[in-house]
Amino acid sequence: METEAIRQLENIEKYLGVVDCVGLPDLHPAKTPVGTTIVTKNVIYPSLIGNDIGCGIAL
């Protein structure tokens, strides 16, 4: 996994209401990291939703 994407994930973990952050196999850096699953409680961050959606992995 790319170091910059991991750093971005670590920063997102500090956001208010973020319970968990997971990097998926296609994790790579972008405006916000692509290939992540972010669990929040009582808050939604629109800027983290749909970034590069469908970039080669499906659940």
- Report the residue count for the chain: 59
* Contact indicator for 24, 34 with CB cutoff of 8 Å: no
**Cα–Cα nearest to 53, from 15, 19, 26:** 26
Q: Annotation-wise, does 26 bind a ligand?
A: no
Which residues line the annotated binding site for Mn(2+)?
A: 52
